[in-house]
Every structure is written in structure tokens, then in C-alpha cells.
Amino acid sequence: MSEQLKTEFTKRIIELQTRVDSIHGDFAEGRAADWSEQAGERENDEVLNALESEAKIEIQQLSNAIARIDRGSYGQCASCGEDIATERLKVQPAATKCIECAD
């Protein structure tokens, strides 16, 4: 099971890194000379920055989850040491706390 999770997490990290690379490529294309187009591009930049930020956070969370799998502590609450509910891990695979400690 743990190897399967590591594989799933690694695939997701690759997808997210591809997204980040694509965003960097979009930024590298440069900007239009027209002022109204530049205003639209600046709004687009804000959205791209937010997407990039979210992707980087998820990459870090998944990398940390892989490290916990390797240490044998994946699925254990970092606060109380109890097992994190399987249902919680299905929804949030990178969870580090059980629902009680997360509240």
C-alpha cells in the first residue's frame, strides 16, 4: 500500500511541476505593447501566480508525505500520535493531523 501511495504522490508531483513549468513559460513570453492588453495580462499574471503558489504548496505537502511513508509515520497524527482516519487521508492525503487535532 505504501509503495502505491508513493507512486500516486510522485505522479501528482510530476503533474504539478509540469503546471509550474507551463506557468513559467507563459511569463517568459513577454507582454503586449497595447496598454489595454497589458492590463488584462496583469490580471492573468495574478491568477497564474496564485495557481503556481498552490501547486508549489501541494508539491511540498506530497513530498513531505512521501518522507513520512519512508519513515513509517505516514497516517499518524503529528500532534497526538494516533492514527489519522483513512477517510481523512483519502480526502487529504498529505494530512499530518487527525481531525480532532486539526480543529
pLDDT of 81 strictly over 90: yes
pLDDT of 32 strictly over 80: no
Q: What is the pLDDT of residue 39?
A: 64
pLDDT, average across residues 21-49: 73
Single pTM value for the model: 0.78
Query: What whole-number distance in Å separates Cα of residue 4 and Cα of residue 17?
Result: 20
Query: What whole-number distance in Å separates Cα of residue 81 and Cα of residue 97?
Result: 9
pLDDT of 28 strictly over 70: no
